[in-house]
A and B are shown apart, each in its own frame.
Chain A
Amino acid sequence: MRFDILKTIYLKEMLDQLRDRRALLSMVLVPLIAIPALMAGMGVVITIIEKKAEDQSKTLGIGLKINSPEIRQAIEKAGLKIVDKPNLKEAVEKKELAAAVEETAGAAGVPEILYYVDRSNPTSETAGDSLRTILTELKDSKVRQRLREQNIPETILTPFSFKRVNVAPERKMAGAMWGTMLGYVLLLLMFTGGIYPAIDMTAGEKERKTLELYLSSPAHRSEIVLGKILAAMTAIFLTAMLTLASIVFSIRNGGLAGKNPQMQQMLKTIPLDGHALLLIVLTLLPLALLAASIMIAIAILARSFKEGQTYLTPLALLVIFPALIGGMPGLEFTPPMAMIPIFNASQVIRSTLLGDLSSTNFLITTFANLVYAGIAFYFASRRFEDETVLFRT
């Protein structure tokens, strides 16, 4: 391996990629603009939907078929409009009413209040929540009144009290939640970000008829493969770093939390300090090398850019599964698991944010991914020696 030749190949590939708008789009634009916009937009959209549902639940109205005037008064007092409809259930289904309350004869002469909601409709769901609160409060107040009439103290209803105490610090809760999300988004974008450069440098070269001259130069095939893999790795790693920077920025500025102050507070506890970021970067480097090697080894088999996309798109989708499994509750990250490629990286990211990453798991993950990258490099090199692959038409 001659490093001056390797450097020449790497720099040429990088220059070629950086001049390509489509490569820049997947490498830079998606992580830097689309991801933060999507995340910030999610909070805004949820807020708008909630506000709209609340407003509509008041304007659309509640249907009533009840004997108790107290319920009607309580609903009116809560600011909900009452609308008359002959068939309450049907009116809720047809979205003519936000929700409806109907009184029926219950068991042992106790009246039963049914309230109809369409849980697939946020407006109806919000109206239903309001009705539940109104009915619960009314029921409690009636119980208290009856106890007072019987001269029985209200404390009889509370023989003991209980309270859930969460021993997980807020930081850990945030780490568990965002660790899974971060691993998932990073891995997915790394693999999708690498698709275009990997195809362009292999099947794209075949299609543009540039590969033949490349191969007739004095550069060794292994130097050409490694130069291309390193360029693809740079593109993949750049995508990962820009995604990470976007997410860290969004978290630091509360962009992911919307206007929810509790969520904002929780996000600030996420341990994305220098040490955590360094661990994530060190995990992603061998993973980027592995992803680049696999993609180049596969993409060189394709005859055209289109065929390359057919081969590599399923690979990017496959990455979703190990990343998703990594987020399953109760899953313990053990040293044997650290040998499972892709999954191991998602687990290291999650453990880093949880603050419980063991050095053994980190080292096994890094080493395993380097070994797998080496194997993929070997296969990619073999493909570049195979003239039936290089000159397929």
Chain B
Amino acid sequence: MSSKAAIQVNAVRKTFSDKKHGSRTAVDGVSFEVFPGEIFGLLGPNGAGKTTTLRVLATLLKPTSGTAILNGFDIVNQPSEVRGSIGFLSGDMGLYGRLTPREVLRFFADLNRLPDASKRVEDILKRFAIMDFAGSKIDKLSTGMKQKVAIARAMLCDPPILILDEPTSGLDVPAARAIESAILDARKRGKCIVFSTHVMEEAEYLCDRIAVINDGKIRIIGTMDHLREATGKHRLREIFVDLLGLGDTGN
């Protein structure tokens, strides 16, 4: 793991306000760092602020206050450069159903101005074993096939940072395993990975460090050993329940 953080999040706060619901703080002064070659997990219940935090990092949302530096670029002042440094993936996959995997990958390669785009696309199609269905429309593919395309798209430009928002959400075990393998492989290649999940086993299995987030605030941050030490609990599920004050579940 490199000593210089690839992601530095400094007191990021995000408040939404509208006439109907008034003002609501989704992320409340979140700070953390993620290093190259590290998998960092954001763990929290629904509505805890995970997606908002990741959307802020991906420059889809502007922080109300605070900022973050990704790959040396400021999310507020250099959003375009930040977007050129990240691969972003959400559980919805966000693939164009009427296009083929090859066309989708080529589109994003061109948007990123990748040199030798055709070769890069063909290489990634082979690497993720997509060649057999590279010319079929995405609408016709199975969920597992689509997820392969989605992760290939996120890694297409070989970005130093991967931001993955519940990437295994709604997937069956084999499809989720494929994503987990891709994440572990990316770590081996020195990528900085931040991903959100509410699946405890997945976080425990994949993450080098975990931040538990609730009501927009980070409750604890550290390695599994650190979390165990701080809470006196052994399993991540127990730690999570304890931190959120959900009471004894008996597990």
A binds B: yes
Chain A min CB distance to B196 (Å): 14
- Other than the known A16-B98, A210-B96, A219-B111, what 18 A-B pairs have Cβ atoms closer than 8 Å? A12-B103, A12-B107, A15-B98, A15-B99, A20-B98, A209-B93, A210-B95, A212-B60, A212-B92, A212-B94, A213-B153, A216-B60, A217-B83, A217-B112, A218-B80, A218-B111, A390-B60, A391-B55
Q: A15-B99, A19-B98, A218-B112 are known contacts. Are A8 and B88 too (CB-CB below 8 A)?
A: no
Measured between beta carbons, the chain B residues less than 8 angstroms from A5 are 110-111, 113
Measured between beta carbons, the chain A residues less than 8 angstroms from B62 are 387
* B32: Cβ under 8 A from any A Cβ: no
Contact B111 A16 (CB under 8 A): no
Measured between beta carbons, the chain B residues less than 8 angstroms from A390 are 60
**Those 7 A-B pairs whose CB atoms lie nearest each other, nearest first:** A209-B92, A213-B94, A19-B98, A216-B88, A8-B110, A218-B84, A217-B111
* A208: Cβ under 8 A from any B Cβ: yes
Closest to A385 in B: B62
Of the candidates A9, A20, A216, A218, the one having the most CB atoms from chain B within 10 angstroms of its own CB is A216
Give the docked Cα–Cα distance between A214 and B88 (Å). Answer: 10
Measured between beta carbons, the chain B residues less than 8 angstroms from A12 are 96, 99, 103, 107
Q: A217-B108, A387-B61 are known contacts. Are A209 and B90 too (CB-CB below 8 A)?
A: yes
Contact of A387 among B60, B90, B97, B107 (CB under 8 A): B60
Measured between beta carbons, the chain A residues less than 8 angstroms from B95 are 210
Closest to A220 in B: B80
* B59: Cβ under 8 A from any A Cβ: yes
Measured between beta carbons, the chain B residues less than 8 angstroms from A211 are 94
**Which residues of B are at the interface with A, using a C-beta cutoff of 8 A?**
16, 18, 55, 58-62, 80, 83-84, 86, 88-90, 92-99, 103, 107-108, 110-113, 137, 153
A20-62 to B contact mask, C-beta < 8 Å, 1/0: 1000000000000000000000000000000000000000000
Contact A210 B61 (CB under 8 A): no
* A215: Cβ under 8 A from any B Cβ: yes
Contact of B59 among A4, A19, A210, A216 (CB under 8 A): A216
* A388: Cβ under 8 A from any B Cβ: yes
Give the docked Cα–Cα distance between A212 and B111 (Å). Answer: 14
Give the docked Cα–Cα distance between A211 and B93 (Å). Answer: 11
Contact A218 B83 (CB under 8 A): yes
Contact B94 A391 (CB under 8 A): no
Chain A min CB distance to B4 (Å): 23
Give the docked Cα–Cα distance between A214 and B110 (Å). Answer: 12
Give the docked Cα–Cα distance between A390 and B58 (Å). Answer: 14
Chain A min CB distance to B15 (Å): 12
Measured between beta carbons, the chain A residues less than 8 angstroms from B111 are 5, 8-9, 217-219
A102-138 to B contact mask, C-beta < 8 Å, 1/0: 0000000000000000000000000000000000000
Contact B107 A215 (CB under 8 A): no
Closest to B165 in A: A212
Contact A391 B60 (CB under 8 A): yes
Q: List 30 A-B contacts (CB under 8 A).
A: A5-B110, A5-B111, A8-B110, A9-B111, A12-B107, A15-B99, A16-B96, A19-B137, A208-B94, A209-B90, A209-B92, A209-B93, A210-B95, A212-B88, A213-B88, A213-B153, A214-B94, A215-B60, A216-B60, A216-B83, A216-B86, A217-B108, A218-B84, A218-B111, A218-B113, A219-B111, A220-B80, A387-B62, A388-B16, A391-B60
**Which residues of A are at the interface with B, using a C-beta cutoff of 8 A?**
4-5, 8-9, 12, 15-16, 19-20, 208-220, 387-388, 390-391
Contact of A388 among B18, B55, B86, B137 (CB under 8 A): B18
Contact A210 B94 (CB under 8 A): yes
Contact A209 B94 (CB under 8 A): yes
Give the docked Cα–Cα distance between A8 and B113 (Å). Answer: 10
Closest to A216 in B: B88
Give the docked Cα–Cα distance between A214 and B83 (Å). Answer: 11
Measured between beta carbons, the chain A residues less than 8 angstroms from B83 are 216-218
Give the docked Cα–Cα distance between A134 and B116 (Å). Answer: 87
Measured between beta carbons, the chain A residues less than 8 angstroms from B97 are 208
Give the docked Cα–Cα distance between A391 and B92 (Å). Answer: 14
Measured between beta carbons, the chain B residues less than 8 angstroms from A388 are 16, 18
Measured between beta carbons, the chain B residues less than 8 angstroms from A19 are 98-99, 137
Closest to B90 in A: A212
Contact B58 A216 (CB under 8 A): yes
Measured between beta carbons, the chain A residues less than 8 angstroms from B61 are 387, 391
Give the docked Cα–Cα distance between A275 and B94 (Å). Answer: 47
Measured between beta carbons, the chain B residues less than 8 angstroms from A8 are 107, 110-111
Of the candidates B59, B83, B92, B96, the one having the most CB atoms from chain A within 10 angstroms of its own CB is B96
Chain B min CB distance to A23 (Å): 10
Contact of B90 among A4, A213, A219 (CB under 8 A): A213
Give the docked Cα–Cα distance between A296 and B153 (Å). Answer: 27
